[in-house]
Amino acid sequence: MADISQTRPLTRSSVKEAHELIKPHIHETPIDTSTTLSKLASTPQSPEALKGTIYDGQTPAKPKIRLFFKCENYQKIGAFKARGAFHALARLSDEELEKGVVTHSSGNHAQALALAARTRGVPAYIVMPTISTPSKIAATKSYGASVIFSGSTSQEREAVVAEVIERTGAVLVPPYDHPDIILGQGTMGLELQAQVEDLLGKKPELGVRHGRERRHEGLDAVITPCGGGGMLSGVATALSGTGIRVFGAEPSFEGADDARKGLAANPPRRVTTVKSLTIADGLRTPVGKIPWKVISNKDKVRGVFAVSEEMIKDAMRLVLERMKVFVEPSAVVGLATVLYNEEFRRLVEREAGEEGWNIGVVLSGGNTTVEAIAKIFAAPTESAERAGGVLGMQGERVAENVAG
């Protein structure tokens, strides 16, 4: 990769530069809205849902929320990672790329780098865990990359990458821990802000403050998934100084909520290892050193919240069945936080008051299969029953399914 000392600073203006560089190679993904999910987000959770939590017996939060979904599942290669990969390669010369590029990834960055490398006409060597989703492995190979398998931990992946570099001389393009990757991922934040402002200018009734005396309305907050932290830190960089609050979301299963735990430590510290088999397979990595510098800055990231596997399943079911949008589990952790994390919901209720918040939710990708989804929902579970009940009750409250 480009020497970090020579890269652009992590600023909003640098994200704008990155956007101009990659525009020819990426899609401006659409914004979607859902009346059903916005009303569900604005409806208090049932007392039963809070049993066993620190909020057991307390009055559930009733935030006022309107949701705006940034559909990166429609991005090239089916995920946001194309942004960072194309930007990283755009910052490298033909001479630097002569011997190709190498990375390690469970799937989405793998496909993104393979496509970007093919566009530049250079070899790509991709180290993938043996437990990677078969469809992601096949897609990576279809872009012409050489796939080398490794263990699932970050240490195992990095060891194989080092071997490839020694053998081929390829340039390392890390999946998240580099300024060029972060700036590339941040371009979705620029688009999200501008698209929602444009949408509300045309359809003000979609906004949370419609009917109040307000000349201009836009986003109040954005929430993104957080694995290695490239997307979260990039969006936070893009929106820094705009007044839009930025939050992160993680799965809690087997310690995958490393960013949340790191921020909660006294003093805050980066957790360096994660060993989790959460269904949100794109979020199984620890936050990188450079993303951590942004994420641990409260002026840029207001907080990171965690959700259970059951909550992720419930949110995924809602997106699939109500929005008719095809997503992978990692994509919905932000939505799960808005719907089910009572700490986050109380924060919105407390800070937004009667006005409420327009919240941008990044749906980060859709690289999964019908077979993989079927396995997630194969057996009747408490999650499925709870989601079905929620859907049924919500169907009674809301006449229409989807708006926008």
- The pLDDT tens digits of the residues spanning 25-46 come to 999 999 999 999 999 999 999 9
Range 181-208 average pLDDT: 97
C-alpha span between 74 and 123 (Å, rounded): 26
In this structure, how many other beta carbons lie within 10 angstroms of the beta carbon of residue 167?
Answer: 10
Range 201-227 average pLDDT: 88
The more confident residue out of 291 and 382 is: 291
Q: What is the pLDDT of residue 132?
A: 82
What domains, with CATH codes, occur in the chain? 12-78+180-397 (3.40.50.1100), 80-172 (3.40.50.1100)
Q: What is the pLDDT of residue 4?
A: 78
- Residues 257, 336: contact at Cβ < 8 Å? no
Look up residue 337 and give its two tokens.
């936080």
pLDDT in tens, 124-148: 999 998 888 788 899 999 999 999 9
- Average pLDDT of the chain is 91
Closest CA to 66 of 362, 400, 356, 372: 356
Range 273-301 average pLDDT: 94
Q: What are the DSSP calls for 84-103, one per residue?
A: HHHHHHHTS-TTTTTT-EEE
In this predicted structure, the answer to whether residue 58 has a pLDDT above a threshold of 80 is: yes
Q: What is the pLDDT of residue 268?
A: 96
| DSSP code, position 321 | I
Range 166-181 average pLDDT: 96
Range 70-84 average pLDDT: 97
Q: What is the pLDDT of residue 216?
A: 66
Confidence of residue 206 (pLDDT cuts 50, 70, 90): very high
Confidence of residue 106 (pLDDT cuts 50, 70, 90): confident
Confidence of residue 177 (pLDDT cuts 50, 70, 90): very high
φ and ψ of 247, to 5 deg? -130, 155
Beta bridge partners of 103: 126
C-alpha span between 356 and 34 (Å, rounded): 16
pLDDT in tens, 324-345: 999 999 999 999 999 999 999 9
How do strand 31-32 and strand 65-71 relate by DSSP bridges?
antiparallel
Q: What is the pLDDT of residue 214?
A: 57
C-alpha span between 199 and 80 (Å, rounded): 21
Look up residue 374 and give its two tokens.
């079927």
In this structure, how many other beta carbons lie within 10 angstroms of the beta carbon of residue 39?
Answer: 16
In the block, which residue shows the tokens 């979020």?
A: 283
Q: What are the DSSP calls for 235-277, one per residue?
A: HHHHTTTTT-EEEEEEE-GGG--HHHHHHHSSS----------
- Residues 227, 281: contact at Cβ < 8 Å? no
In this structure, how many other beta carbons lie within 10 angstroms of the beta carbon of residue 120?
Answer: 16
Closest CA to 301 of 372, 224, 389: 224
Catalytic residues: 81, 106
- Residues 228, 250: contact at Cβ < 8 Å? no
Closest CA to 185 of 365, 1, 19: 19
pLDDT in tens, 95-105: 999 999 999 98
